[in-house]
Structure 1
Amino acid sequence: MTLEAIRYRPGSLQILNQLLLPHETVYDEIRSVRDGYEAIKSMKVRGAPAIAIVGCLSLAVELRAGMGGNDLVCFIRDSLCHLTSARPTAVNMGRAARELMEFTENESMEKNTGRVKSSSCVIGWIEEMLERDVNDNKKIGNYGAQHILSGVPRDSVTILTHCNTGSLATAGYGTALGVVRSLHALSRLKRLYCTETRPYNQGARLTAYESVAEGFPATLITDSMAALAMREKGITAVVVGADRVVANGDTANKVGTYQLAIAAKHHGVPFYVAAPSTSCDLSLESGRDIVIEERPAEELTSINGVPVAAPGIDVWNPAFDVTPHQLITGGIITELGVFLPSELQAALTGRLTAL
Structure 2
Amino acid sequence: MLHVDTMAADQPLQGLVWLAEGKVRLLDQRVLPDQVVAIECGNPAQVLAAMRDGVVCGAAALGIAAAYALALAARRPVPPVNWLTALQPLLDELAAVQPMAANLHWALGIMRQTIASTSPTDDMAVRLLQAAQAIQAADREANQTMAKLGVQLLRRHQAPVHRVMLHGYGGDLSGGGGGTTYGVARTASAAGLVGEVLVNEGRSLLPSASLGLSELLRSGAPAALHADVEAGRLMKHDGVTWVLVGAERIAANGDVIGPLGSYMLAILAMHHGLRFMVVASTATIDMSLADADDLGPDQLGSGSLTRGGGESSPLEVTPVELIDAIVTEKGIIEQPDERKVASLMSVRQLH
TM-score (normalizing by structure 1): 0.86
Checking the alignment, whether the CA contact within 8 Å between 1:40 and 1:87 is kept in structure 2 is no
SS of equivalent residue, structure 1 residue 184: helix
Checking the alignment, whether the CA contact within 8 Å between 2:23 and 2:43 is kept in structure 1 is no
Distance 1:200 1:239 in 2: 15
1:179 lines up with 2:184 in the alignment = yes
CA-CA distance at 1:104 after TM superposition: 2.1
Aligned equivalent of 1:7, options 3, 17, 30: 17
Distance 1:240 1:321 in 2: 12
Match of 2:158? 152
Match of 2:149? 143
CA-CA distance at 1:14 after TM superposition: 1.0
Q: How does 1:204-243 map to 2 (within 5 A)?
A: 204-243=209-248
CA-CA distance at 1:219 after TM superposition: 0.8
Identical amino acids, percent of aligned pairs? 27
Q: Structure 1 residues 237 and 209 mapped into 2: Cα distance closer, same or farther (>3 Å)? A: same
Match of 2:125? 119
CA-CA distance at 1:167 after TM superposition: 0.2
Match of 2:117? 106
Q: How does 1:227-266 map to 2 (within 5 A)?
A: 227-266=232-271
Q: What residue ranges of structure 1 are gaps of 5+ in the alignment?
A: 306-315
Q: Deviations over 1:49-103 (max 9, x none)?
A: 1110011112212324547534322233322221010122211111211222123
Distance 2:312 2:18 in 1: 33
Q: How does 1:85-96 map to 2 (within 5 A)?
A: 85-96=96-107
Distance 2:256 2:49 in 1: 26
Match of 1:73? 84
Checking the alignment, whether the CA contact within 8 Å between 1:59 and 1:79 is kept in structure 2 is yes
**One-letter code aligned to 2:70:** L
Aligned equivalent of 2:347, options 341, 344, 351: 351
CA-CA distance at 1:181 after TM superposition: 1.6
Q: What residue ranges of structure 2 are gaps of 5+ in the alignment?
A: 1-10
1:294 lines up with 2:302 in the alignment = yes
CA-CA distance at 1:317 after TM superposition: 7.0
**One-letter code aligned to 2:329:** E
**One-letter code aligned to 1:141:** A
Single out whichever of 332-341 and 2-11 deviates more from structure 2: 2-11
Match of 2:279? 274
Q: Structure 1 residues 354 and 81 mapped into 2: Cα distance closer, same or farther (>3 Å)? A: closer
Match of 2:329? 335
SS of equivalent residue, structure 2 residue 89: helix
Single out whichever of 165-174 and 343-352 deviates more from structure 2: 343-352
Q: Structure 1 residues 77 and 179 mapped into 2: Cα distance closer, same or farther (>3 Å)? A: same
TM-score (normalizing by structure 2): 0.87
Q: Deviations over 1:162-205 (max 9, x none)?
A: 11101021111011111112102212221000111323453533
Q: Deviations over 1:285-343 (max 9, x none)?
A: 11135531437xx97xxxx99xxxxxxxxxx97511110000002x1000011103215
Checking the alignment, whether the CA contact within 8 Å between 1:140 and 1:175 is kept in structure 2 is yes
Aligned equivalent of 1:326, options 314, 321, 339: 321
Match of 1:56? 67
Q: Structure 1 residues 354 and 190 mapped into 2: Cα distance closer, same or farther (>3 Å)? A: closer
CA-CA distance at 1:282 after TM superposition: 0.8
- What root-mean-square deviation, in Å, do the aligned CA atoms of Structure 1 and Structure 2 show? 2.6
Distance 2:252 2:333 in 1: 13
**One-letter code aligned to 2:323:** I
Q: Structure 1 residues 67 and 78 mapped into 2: Cα distance closer, same or farther (>3 Å)? A: farther
SS of equivalent residue, structure 2 residue 326: strand
SS of equivalent residue, structure 1 residue 119: helix
Distance 1:215 1:353 in 2: 33
Match of 2:288? 283
SS of equivalent residue, structure 1 residue 215: coil
Checking the alignment, whether the CA contact within 8 Å between 2:169 and 2:209 is kept in structure 1 is no
Aligned equivalent of 1:45, options 49, 56, 72: 56
